[in-house]
Amino acid sequence: MSATSFIPRRHLALVVGVVTLIAAGATGAVAQPQRSSPGERLRQDTRAVHALGVSGVQARAVAPDGRESVATSGTADLRTGRPVPANGRFRMASTAKTLVATVVLQLAAEGRLSLDDTVESRLPGVVRGNGNDGRRITLRHLLQHTAGVHDDLPGYTTPEEYYRQRHDVYRPEQLIARAMRHAPDFAPGEGWQYSNTGYILLGSIVHRLTGRPVHQEIEERVLRPLGLDGTRWTGVSTDLPGPHARGYQRFGPDATVDVTDQIPVDHETAFTTTTRDENRFLRALLAGRLLPARQLAEMKQTVPVNAEVQRLWPGGRYGLGLVERPLSCGGTYWSHEGGDGGYITLNGVAEDGRRSVVVSMSEARGDTPEHILEQENAAGALVDHALCAGGRDDR
């Protein structure tokens, strides 16, 4: 993964490196914000991310009065040097898990399913074999990554693997079958481990229940009501709608590859979005515009993440498709990061919903654990500064 994206679908081998580095004593403390205007601080932090070697960065913060600050740094294309668009599109990646969770909770509010339903009752015969037992796994387990379902998604760690695999297309049942070849990571409810396959199962459950693919339910239930016209399902398209920065992956000191041209492994939730739309979605969700109070409260019921991720995000906890993390100025914020195909995105909404921020980076510095951690820390500092702007009195 990249350290910024909650175990995204590719670069999985680097997870071990990041965890090893952190366990050996690396720290990621967030720097305290300096006294400057929120807009100027956002520009400084965006430049700081770019200065690490990230080719392109765009960020958008929304203040309590609704005013937006926008900052960009770097280039959208290493060949031409064109500037980063201020509201360019990027791959949403794992942030789409929050969209999936929202749809599942809406269906629960409508009485069409229960979070305590078993996977077996919704997808008979799908989760079984090698110790996997869908009769013991609930939808709540899947949403919270406490099901123990092992991840075995295709990925690339070298340029050669990228060029060979970038146009491969997988059906959800194929990806689930790959996971079933492995024993579960732990018994349901007895641990925490991020599982992309768990959310593929949730998408399949939504499809079976509604008769429509999960991306259509997301479009109908979330994107259209909120007017998120900049967010689109790309499916098996190999590129992004414009405008957008090119996505790059750093594989080594002399191997930075344009990886924009690819089909996401889980194309059922392959959305592109913008910093404006992602801010609007997260703010609407936390404001209760998408879920009744009961379901939103359930979404915010969290459990600790595992020890490895806890070292990366001290105090981090996972709800139902939402992450809760502490702020340096006190309190917590809600988020769900995403990373895939060269695009790394961090986001956050303050606990009281008055401030939000999204930062999208169009290069994943995935060649070393140190670079991954540096990118995470710099982008995390940007989020912290934006949400702490003005101090506690302003929140």
Question: How many residues are present in the chain?
Answer: 395
CATH class of 13-394: alpha beta
pLDDT of residue 112: 98
pLDDT of residue 9: 41
Strands 248-252 and 363-364: parallel
pLDDT of residue 12: 39
Q: Residue 50 pLDDT more than 80?
A: yes
For helices 96-109 and 196-210, what crossing angle results, to 10°?
40
- Among 320, 332, 316, residue whose Cα is nearest residue 102: 320
Q: What is the mean pLDDT of the chain?
A: 90
Q: Taking residues 83-99, what's their average pLDDT? A: 97
Q: Taking residues 207-225, what's their average pLDDT? A: 98
Q: Taking residues 37-61, what's their average pLDDT? A: 97
Query: How many CB atoms sit inside 10 A of residue 124's CB?
Result: 13
> Using one digit for the tens of pLDDT, what is the confidence trace for 8-26?
444 433 343 333 333 333 3
**For the whole model, what pTM was predicted?**
0.92
> Using one digit for the tens of pLDDT, what is the confidence trace for 143-163?
999 999 999 999 999 999 999
| 187/35: higher pLDDT | 187
- In the Cβ-directed half-sphere of 245, how many Cα atoms lie within 13 Å? 34
CA-to-CA distance for 383 and 42, rounded, in angstroms?
9
CA-to-CA distance for 46 and 84, rounded, in angstroms?
12
> Using one digit for the tens of pLDDT, what is the confidence trace for 306-359?
988 877 777 899 999 999 999 999 999 999 999 998 999 999 999 888 999 999
Q: Residue 1 pLDDT more than 80?
A: no
For the chain, domain boundaries: 13-394
CA-to-CA distance for 318 and 301, rounded, in angstroms?
8
> Using one digit for the tens of pLDDT, what is the confidence trace for 246-271?
999 999 988 999 999 999 999 999 99
SS3 label, residue 156: coil
pLDDT of residue 7: 43
Helical segments of the chain, H only = 13-23, 38-51, 96-109, 119-122, 139-144, 159-165, 172-180, 196-210, 214-218, 224-226, 275-286, 293-299, 307-312, 369-388
pLDDT range class, residue 391, cuts 50, 70, 90: low
